[in-house]
Copies of this chain bind each other. A is one copy, B any other.
Amino acid sequence: MHSFIHSVCALFLLFLLCQPAQAGDNPDADRQAVVLAAFGTTVPKALPGILNIRDRLQRQYPQTPVKIAFTSNIIRRIWQGRRGDAAFITANPSVPADVYTVQGPLATIANLQDQGYRTIIVQPGHISAGEEYLDLVAAIDGLNSIRTIKPKFRPFEKLAVGRPAMGTAGEQHPYSEDLALIARALADDAVQAEKANAALLYMAHGNTYMPSGSAYLEFASIMNRLYPQVKTYIALVEGYPSLDDTLPLLEHAGVSKLLLKPFMTVAGDHTVNDMAGDEPEAWKSILSAKGYEVMTVAKGLGEIDAFADVYLHHLQQTATDHGIVLH
């Protein structure tokens, strides 16, 4: 045990020496950073749903570090466990190093602050203003409530939070405009469904413990107005409207063929198992059993550049709202 600690320590000192004295360079500069706070995923091949958004934000602001954070405790814990798992690391060369060390928003923000980044915008990578987003806002409100005797010692110059893809409550940026933005970004889905002569059915997440379906249903109604040639439906894994709530509508409308897609940034566990899995309770199985012809596309919304840029759009507005100029 002692020799293990010793070798870790030696490695650590080596690591110390290799580190540039980053924040020491210009301690007075007001450093700016962006945190992309997504739910996260444990599925390596679903990571692009997050990383593509990160890359597009980073490309837009090359001088501003864009750090990812995962809001799910369970998912972070799994990645923490994989840090020491040589077999996993070797088998998944596409996983970037910062996924292994990813932290929650609180630690990510606090570490940036500790390095001298006192102006931080947290851009949620969430789809809707649901539980995860509200909890994220609560964390940021808590950090923003910190007052100090001398204003110059406040931990943050500006700590702002953007809004999820589907927007949030308030007059400044009506959520319905965000829904329209998404509907335009997903034009290809309508094209694809039309080509296949299919209705479009999205699987969104939802929440059993807070009414969340409204924005989804309103989004579907905008899709139907924008792309009347295709019937668009949306149902939730949790909460109302469920697939059960939606089946009568499909039947009533005489749908026979379905293009089934995840309405989630990443095509992770829900997509692989709950949507497109072979188990009888997977949506594909249920719909097939009902006689529908089902095509599934296991691609997270974040992998679609036009959708990823909805987050960029929101980030830019948040920066403007707070008088922050990102570079």
Name A's B-contacting residues (CB within 8 A): 7-9, 11-24, 27, 73-74, 76-78, 80-86, 89, 97, 100-101, 103-104, 106-107, 109-111, 113-116, 129, 131, 134-135, 138-139, 141-150, 153, 155, 166, 168-171, 174-176, 207-215, 217-218, 221, 240-241, 245, 252
List the 3 closest pairs (A to B, CB-CB), nearest first.
Answer: A214-B214, A24-B81, A169-B210
Question: Does the CB pair B149–A210 fall under 8 Å?
Answer: yes
- 21 residue pairs A–B, Cβ–Cβ below 8 Å: A13-B97, A15-B15, A16-B84, A24-B78, A24-B81, A106-B110, A109-B110, A129-B211, A131-B148, A131-B149, A131-B150, A145-B145, A149-B209, A169-B207, A169-B209, A169-B210, A213-B214, A214-B214, A214-B215, A214-B217, A252-B252
| CB closest chain-B residue, reference A216 | B214
Verify B209–A171 contact, CB threshold 8 A: yes
Q: Which of B7, B86, B208, B241 contacts A217 (CB 8 A)?
A: B241
Residues from chain B with Cβ under 8 Å of A211 in the complex: 129, 166, 169, 175, 214-215, 218
Of all chain B residues, the one with the shortest Cβ separation from A103 is: B114
CB distance from A168 to the nearest CB of B (A): 8
A21 B81 Cβ-Cβ under 8 A:
yes
Which residues of B have CB within 8 Å of A175? Answer: 209-211
Structural contact, A77 and B11, CB atoms closer than 8 A: no
Interface of A is mostly: helix
Residues of B near A7 (CB, < 8 A) are 18
CA distance A86 to B175 in the complex (A): 46
Complex alpha-carbon distance, A38 and B77, angstroms: 30
Which of A15, A20, A80, A86 lies at the interface centre, i.e. has the most chain B CB atoms within 10 A of its CB?
A80
CA distance A8 to B89 in the complex (A): 17
Q: Cβ of A134: which chain B residues have Cβ within 8 Å of it?
A: 148-149, 169
Partner of A114, one of B16, B76, B115: B76
From B22, B86, B113, A106 is in contact (CB under 8 Å) with B113
Which residues of B sit under 8 angstroms from A214, Cβ to Cβ? Answer: 211-215, 217, 240
Kindly name the residue among A13, A76, A169 whose own CB sees the greatest number of chain B CB atoms within 10 A. Answer: A169
Docked Cα-Cα span, A24 to B84, in Å, equals 11
* Interface hub of A106, A166, A169, A214 (most chain B Cβ within 10 A): A214
B11 touches A83 (CB 8 A): no
B100:A16 contact, CB within 8 angstroms = yes
Contacting residue for A77 out of B23, B78, B141, B144, CB 8 A:
B23
Contacts of A131 in B (CB 8 A): 148-150, 169
Contact residues in B for A138 (Cβ distance below 8 Å): 146-148
